[in-house]
């Protein structure tokens, strides 16, 4: 299959939906402008695409789960806005553009993040955006999954630990905690949500969960590697920006060779987890392969 075409088409579904979602103006204008600024700052939409691919692997039609998948991107975008704040990582650039608080000020950036995070759950549970094939039970389960992965025992906990670990000694346990919580939890939840929305429970859900955990961690390990290897122009952020903050990264703790080996092993584990699924899981397999080969 042509994975690049697949990613492009699914990204278009997500982008079109999100454009429409915030297209009707409501006051105050600057708050919506600030949210839309970061939402449309060129994200690859990998989390909602994984949700759609998982939904398709379970027999659903991608079009039917677009609003619920888009909710994940709202959460991801909020996390970037808050991570970039002066009190956090204090970043001026994100994907080659000024960060939200550089454009809209700190107060509005905090509120834009709060708004996106809250709106994500509003959208996820909104009946007007739900196809009849998706049940109330699936929505309730997805709200719980997404909030657990993003909350204090998930992404927020990972970001807190990340801040606490700055300038600390390289420590494999802390590093793994940060990566699993800050990045892998939301990616893994994206995959699980796709399956849950399709009504999948039990063993197949567990297989997809293992795929999600492995690909989620792989994503962050590869990101760490690219931060050392990559070029600023491709990444849209200064190369080595993690090093500047003395962040714990895989290359810093394990070295480059071991990090590459780890990434390869995680990708292989993710592929193995879904090996018993039929051809409808091909996009998931191809995304794993593509992620391993990605340059940005």
Pick the binder of its own copies from 72, 108, 218, 263 (CB under 8 A): 108
CA distance 3 to 295: 15
Supply the minimum distance, in Å, between the C-beta of residue 107 and its own copies. Answer: 4
Part in contact with its own copies (CB under 8 A); list of ranges 10-18, 100-108, 205-213, 240-248: 100-108
CA distance 41 to 203: 38
User: Residue 214 corresponds to which tokens in the numbers above?
Assistant: 């492995």
Q: Which residue has the tokens 């690049």?
A: 4
Pick the binder of its own copies from 57, 117, 208, 263 (CB under 8 A): 117
Part in contact with its own copies (CB under 8 A); list of ranges 39-47, 108-116, 217-225, 261-269: 108-116
275 DSSP assignment: T
CB nearer to its own copies: pick between 28 and 255: 28
H or E segment to which residue 94 belongs? strand 93-94
Part in contact with its own copies (CB under 8 A); list of ranges 28-36, 194-202, 241-249, 283-291: 28-36
Q: How many of the chain's residues bind its own copies (CB under 8 A)? A: 54
Interface of this chain with its own copies, residues 177 to 216, rule: CB under 8 A: 177
Interface of this chain with its own copies, residues 118 to 177, rule: CB under 8 A: 118-122, 124-127, 135-137, 139-141, 143-144, 146-148, 150-153, 156-157, 159-161, 163-164, 177
Scanning the chain, the segments in alpha helix (DSSP H) are 3-21, 29-39, 46-57, 66-84, 100-104, 106-124, 136-150, 155-165, 172-179, 185-197, 202-229, 232-235, 241-244, 250-254, 256-273, 282-293
Our finding on whether 114 is near its own copies (CB under 8 A) is: yes
Our finding on whether 245 is near its own copies (CB under 8 A) is: no
Burial of 68-106, coded b for 16+ CB within 10 Å and e otherwise, reads bbbbbbbbbbbbbbbbbbeeebebeebeeeebbbbebee
CA distance 207 to 278: 13
Closest CA to 51 of 212, 172, 193: 193
Pick the binder of its own copies from 4, 12, 19, 87 (CB under 8 A): 87
Contact residues for its own copies (CB under 8 A)?
26-28, 30-32, 35, 82, 85, 87-88, 105-108, 110-111, 113-122, 124-127, 135-137, 139-141, 143-144, 146-148, 150-153, 156-157, 159-161, 163-164, 177
């Amino acid at each position: 299959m042509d994975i690049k075409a697949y990613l492009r088409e699914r990204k278009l579904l997500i982008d079109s939906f999100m454009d429409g979602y915030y297209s009707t103006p409501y006051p105050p204008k600057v708050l919506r402008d600030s949210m839309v600024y970061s939402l449309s700052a060129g994200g690859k939409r990998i989390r909602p695409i994984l949700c759609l691919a998982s939904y398709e692997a379970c027999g659903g039609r991608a079009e039917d789960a677009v609003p619920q998948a888009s909710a994940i991107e709202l959460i991801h975008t909020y996390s970037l806005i808050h991570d970039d704040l002066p009190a956090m990582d204090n970043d001026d650039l994100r994907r080659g553009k000024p960060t939200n608080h550089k454009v809209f000020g700190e107060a509005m950036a905090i509120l834009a993040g709060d708004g996106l995070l809250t709106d994500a759950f509003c959208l996820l549970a909104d009946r007007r955006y739900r196809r009849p094939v998706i049940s109330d039970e699936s929505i309730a389960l997805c709200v719980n999954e997404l909030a657990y992965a993003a909350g204090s025992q998930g992404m927020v906990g990972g970001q807190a630990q990340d801040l606490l670990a700055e300038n600390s000694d390289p420590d494999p346990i802390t590093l793994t905690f940060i990566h699993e919580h800050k990045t892998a939890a939301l990616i893994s939840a994206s995959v699980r949500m796709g399956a849950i929305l399709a009504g999948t429970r039990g063993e197949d859900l567990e297989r997809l969960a293992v795929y999600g955990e492995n690909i989620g961690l792989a994503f962050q390990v590869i990101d760490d590697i690219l931060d050392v290897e990559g070029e600023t122009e491709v990444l849209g952020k200064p190369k080595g920006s993690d090093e500047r903050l003395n962040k714990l990264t895989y290359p810093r703790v394990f070295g480059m060779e071991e990090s590459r080996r780890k990434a390869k092993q995680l990708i292989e584990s993710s592929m193995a987890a879904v090996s018993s699924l039929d051809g409808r899981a091909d996009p998931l397999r191809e995304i794993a392969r593509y992620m391993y080969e990605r340059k940005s």
